[in-house]
Amino acid sequence: MALKIFEFDLKLEKGPILKPYTFELNSHPNKESKHGKPLKYYADVLTALSFYNINKTMNKPNAFDLENTIEVWRQVEASYEMYGRSRKRVLALHEQTHQQNPELIENFEKKFDSCLAEIWHKDKVNLKDLYLVNDLIDYLEDQMKTPLLFNFSLSFSPEFQQKLLFLYSFLWNIRSLVAIDHNSYVEDSSHESLKMDSITDYLPKAEYIVNDALNYFQFKKLFIPFVSGRSSDVKIEKLLFEPMYKSFHQYSHNACHLIDHLPENFLSNLSPKELEEALYLVQMDWLLGSEAGLLFKIREEIFGIQEGYEKIFWHEYDFRDHQHSVKLNVCCELSSKHFQKRIA
């Protein structure tokens, strides 16, 4: 790959954590702009590549001439690699799960494509307009009549999956740039730095969910003889099962969704120790490699842009003083030498 210079502006408005509201790509970088090697985890390059690739999937005019952008993105985007690693296990669970109506899925993909085509322009995007994407995700969840959380019933076309991966990469790396800018001004990095985590940013207490899920599973298994079949007892169901069932769903709803979305034979064929390990790994596979997990993460990132990152990801900054609005000008270069090690 020949040397390529990326330059774009990210406009941020005031808040405890600055809120991005406009991304604008400069298709003709200023030759006098200072540019150097990409950031360690390629947040700058991946933001530009993801934006460009989304345009490419919609066959929009190219902002600049760049070959092999999808291949380059795949070589440097960690979330793409993790998505691929989890797919085999995700597909195995999907095949054992009640699957969504294909017409619903096809309709959602078409609506999503139309929505993104309206928001996305060849050289810029107003990030505030992304609330329309979240409206569509909420629409899908409403039509499914079940939450996205730990859901394995969705199956999108490969092309649509790729588009979602580009969108998630774009949103994640924009937040990374905001964090990098924020951290460059802190006085004590041990206490004030913002951190990015592809797991705990979305599932902060996966281990606790496992414990609650095991309790919920044992509760359901214990009460099955009393609420179904010949041995069912209306008094036990009304006085014990229903109040406890409501309590589980009120106080441990994440754990309940995990158990309720998994195939019965998957749960019953494992020993207690194996089940404990499997429930943790299933959460990771759902988050990193499922269609529902991808939509869930995109929605969270858009909520962060709309409401403020401190409301969604960095709660300890919710009551800090507001910073002034700024415009970040990002300029970097990329060539084959920057990712040869990743290819090897």
**CA dihedral sign, ordered 301, 307, 308, 313:** negative
For tokens 């990329």, the residue is: 334
E-strand stretches of 64-214: 124-126
Q: In this predicted structure, what is the pLDDT of residue 63?
A: 56
For tokens 């006098």, the residue is: 32
Query: Rg for the chain (alpha carbons), in Å?
Result: 23
Secondary structure (DSSP) of 11-77: EEE-BSS-EEEEEEE-SS--TTS--BSPPTT-HHHHHHHHHHHHHHHTTPPPSS--SSHHHHHHHH-
Q: In this predicted structure, what is the pLDDT of residue 333?
A: 79
DSSP 125: E
Beta-ladder partners of 20: 12
Which residue in 176, 205, 202 sits closest to 303, CA to CA? 202
Which residue in 76, 21, 86, 82 sits closest to 53, CA to CA? 76
Secondary structure (DSSP) of 204-243: TTHHHHHHHHHHHHHHHHHHHHHHSSTT--HHHIIIIIHH
pLDDT in tens, the chain (344 residues): 556 778 899 999 998 999 999 999 887 666 666 667 778 888 999 999 999 999 999 887 665 556 788 988 999 999 999 999 999 999 999 999 988 999 999 999 999 999 999 999 989 999 999 999 999 999 999 999 999 999 999 999 999 999 999 999 999 999 999 999 999 888 888 778 899 999 999 999 999 999 999 999 998 887 776 666 566 666 666 767 778 888 888 899 999 999 999 998 999 889 999 999 999 999 999 999 999 999 999 999 999 999 999 999 999 887 777 777 789 988 887 776 655 544 43
Beta-ladder partners of 23: 10, 125
Q: In this predicted structure, what is the pLDDT of residue 344?
A: 39
Q: In this predicted structure, what is the pLDDT of residue 239?
A: 67
- What is the spatial order of strands in the sheet that 326-334 belongs to? 124-126, 19-25, 4-13, 326-334
Q: How far separated are the first and last CA of the chain, in Å rounded?
A: 15
**pTM attached to this predicted model:** 0.92
Question: For residues 289 and 91, what is the distance between their CA atoms, to the nearest angstrom?
Answer: 9
Contact 180, 309 (CB under 8 A): no
Contact 287, 81 (CB under 8 A): no
Contact 210, 280 (CB under 8 A): yes
